[in-house]
Amino acid sequence: MLTFSLDKIALKPHSKVLDVGCGEGRHIFGSLHEYVDVHCIGLDQDIPSLNKCKEGFEFFKELNSGSTVFMQGSVYSLPFDDNTLDLVICSEVLEHLEDYHAAIDEIYRVLKPEGKFLPSVPSYWPEKICWSLSPNYQNMPGGHVRIFKKRQVINEISDHGFKYDYSERFHGLHSAYWWLRCLFWSTQDSNYFVRIYKKFLEYHILQSPAWLNYFEKILNPIFGKSIAFYFEKK
């Protein structure tokens, strides 16, 4: 499930798209669906995730006439020249970084003027509930080191030379799942309520019924687990 409305971002043919912290590639594969003849780059530090990206790409590669590559790397030192990328996606990454300001500066460096920057972070109060329910949630290896407020993200990224366009919340059905996991942290893998809710989310993701998509759209402004931002390099 994507955390951005990629259909709202118009890209010219041969544009270059970078997904920083791409994980298993959901936004890269979403870009292949949405855009024609673009060059997609997925970058992550985790080798097993990159391997899954490469496996999944065998299925998606016929959708796009551009090139797609996955590589290991760090957001603090992106392997690209200045002003070379048209779109940078950075989904659910900044909350993990000790020095996210350095990461934003690096993203600014590689983007072309008027290039698009799409970061997303966990929404403030759903994330705050997770922290309150279980200290293990943020203390697990690679966990979240901060909770962002919406206005903080807008102001701080704007201070790095970006123009804020708008924001929106996604994944309204996912907040309750994470609350359940935090509430039953020590037994979450076997807990009945966690397993049932996970099956419900899997049904939503795989079947995508219209009524449930509409219901989540209603929930998103209040219960959205993630908040997505749309910026442009000045």
pLDDT value, residue 57: 80
pLDDT tens digit string along 150-171?
Answer: 999 999 999 999 999 999 999 9
Handedness of CA 205, 74, 106, 85 (dihedral sign): negative
Flag whether 102 is in a domain. yes
pLDDT value, residue 121: 98
Give mean pLDDT, residues 90-114: 97
Distance CA 196, CA 15 (A): 42
Residues whose CB is less than 8 angstroms from the CB of residue 214 and which lie 6 or more positions away in sequence, other chains included: none
pLDDT tens digit string along 114-152?
Answer: 999 999 999 999 999 999 999 999 888 888 999 999 999
Q: Please answer whether residues 77 and 107 qualify as being in contact, where contact means their C-beta atoms are separated by less than 8 angstroms.
A: no
CATH number, domain containing residue 220:
3.40.50.150
Flag whether 71 is in a domain. yes
In the predicted structure, residue 210 carries a pLDDT above the cut 80:
yes
Which strand (E) or helix (H) includes residue 183? helix 174-183
Flag whether 124 is in a domain. yes
pLDDT value, residue 132: 96
Give mean pLDDT, residues 194-211: 96
pLDDT value, residue 64: 59
Pairing mode, if any, of strands 226-233 and 111-122?
antiparallel
The pTM of this model reads 0.93
Flag whether 40 is in a domain. yes
Q: Is 10 helix (H, G, I), strand (E, B) or coil?
A: coil
- Choose between 102 and 59: higher pLDDT: 102
Flag whether 131 is in a domain. yes
Flag whether 223 is in a domain. yes
Distance CA 72, CA 22 (A): 10
In the predicted structure, residue 215 carries a pLDDT above the cut 70:
yes
Residue span of the structural domain in which 32 resides: 6-233
User: How many C-alpha atoms does 1 have within 13 Å on its Cβ side?
Assistant: 17
Residues whose CB is less than 8 angstroms from the CB of residue 80 and which lie 6 or more positions away in sequence, other chains included: 18, 110
Q: Tell me how many domains the chain contains.
A: 1
Predicted confidence band at 107 (pLDDT cuts at 50, 70, 90)? very high
pLDDT value, residue 62: 62
Structure tokens at 99: 């020095």
Handedness of CA 170, 176, 177, 178 (dihedral sign): positive
pLDDT tens digit string along 58-83?
Answer: 766 665 556 889 999 999 999 999 99
Flag whether 1 is in a domain. no
Distance CA 113, CA 234 (A): 6
pLDDT tens digit string along 7-63?
Answer: 889 899 899 999 999 999 989 888 877 787 889 999 999 999 999 888 878 766 665
- The closest of 173, 169, 168, 167 to 208, measured between CA atoms, is 173
